[in-house]
Amino acid sequence: GVILVTGANGFIAGHIIDQFLAAGYTVRGTVRSPSSGSKVRELHAKYGDKLEIAIVPDLTKVESYENALQDVVGIMHTASPVDLSASDNEKELLIPAIQGVTALLKASKKWATSLKRIVFTSSFAANINVPEGYRPGYTYTSEDWNPVTYAEGATADPVSAYCASKTLAEQAAWSFIKEEKPSFDLVSLNPAWVFGPHFAPTTPALDLKHLNESTQALWKVVDADTVPPVDFAAAVDVRDVARAHLLAFETPAAGGNRFLLAEHFSYQLAADIAREQVPELAGRVPVIEQGKEQTPATYYAVDGSKPTEILGLKYRPITDTIRDAYAQLAAVEKVA
């Protein structure tokens, strides 16, 4: 059987593909263009033909998936726009996110006759209640839902609109399962900010000016005048997120569940780690201003224990995640 990974050239997908290949699976990655496909093949060259590429030019069209779904037993659906500064909410965020997962589900019901499970890469964005803000004293769990509506998402600020796109896409997926009763089931993984090194056998050829959204959020702390205000007070390691996809596919009891993947995070924590643990960056990160300390008690807490209980996922300490991410970025900068 084949594992289909949509958005194969993405930050998280790089690690998902590596971990499934390392576990012995055959993986088929979908990308929008042949040039993205070649890059993905190159990144995982070690596994040769165990990695196949399928071109899906438009993820919102059911027909685009017909050939990609042959012999597929599991789908990791990561493809979705991650952009916290979109200008057209519906066109850039809501439509590709919602219609993307809906088209994939319809196509799967039609053509993926051996499919057992779809693991949907949702987000903490689908759990958080954005207007509630920092919400000290509140603890988010896997069961929380962002209450946003489509109409609100269509006109909201870009961050809220991204959160709406993830919420409504996840809801569309659960509705499909409930109403269409396909022979496969669904698991939703809801990671907070995903940080950590990009998957790459050597120093990756990253363009520091065009980083994926979460890596960019971390990198902007370097050379900043002040520590940025907290946007999302939670994060998780990209390698743990990838492992959660593998475990979610392989654990029978995971079916029908949502899993919040999160530990406490703040930009002060990121700045302190960079200063203390990444010598190349030590002199380039701001110190938090007195009276503005980003202590955990200022923010909501996150309970990410469900993936540990049901999937057996062990979290890497978030301090290691941040250190490893910065160490890779510093190495990339040196080569560039």
Query: What does the binding site for ligand NDP look like in residue numbers (CB under 6 A)?
Result: 7, 9-13, 32, 36, 59, 78-82, 96, 121, 123, 166, 191, 193-194, 212-214
Q: How far is the CB of 291 from ligand NDP (least distance, A)?
A: 29
CA distance 144 to 190: 11
Q: Which of residues 81 and 286 has its CB atom nearest to ligand NDP in the complex?
A: 81
Choose, from 61, 166, 220, 292, the residue flagged as catalytic: 166
Beta carbon of residue 223, minimum distance to ligand NDP (angstroms, whole number): 21
Residue 306 CB, shortest distance to ligand NDP, in Å, is: 16
Query: Between residues 96 and 153, which has the closer beta carbon with respect to ligand NDP?
Result: 96
Tell me the closest approach of the beta carbon of residue 262 to ligand NDP, in angstroms.
10
Smallest separation (angstroms) from ligand NDP to the CB of 264 = 15
Residue 96 or 286 with smaller CB distance to ligand NDP:
96
Q: Which residue type, as a one-letter code, is found at position 67? A: N
For CA atoms 41, 21, 219, 146, give the dihedral sign: positive
Q: For this structure, is 306 an active site residue?
A: no
**Sign of the CA dihedral 167, 170, 172, 174?**
negative
Q: Give the pair of three-digit tokens for residue 159.
A: 């961050």
**Cα distances (Å, whole numbers) of residue 108 to 41, 74, 75, 119, 264:** 24, 10, 9, 13, 36
What is the strand order of the sheet 193-195 is part of? Answer: 193-195, 234-237, 263-264
Contact between 194 and 241 under an 8 Å Cβ cutoff? The reply is yes
How many Cβ atoms are within 10 Å of 223's Cβ, its own excluded? 10
Q: Whose Cβ is closer to ligand NDP: residue 95's or residue 114's?
A: 95
Amino acid letter, 21:
L
Which residue's Cβ lies closest to ligand NDP? 10
CA distance 327 to 325: 6
Strand partners, 30: 6, 54
Alpha helices in 196-255 (DSSP H): 213-219, 238-250
With respect to ligand NDP, which residue has the nearer C-beta, 66 or 289? Answer: 66
Active site residues: 166
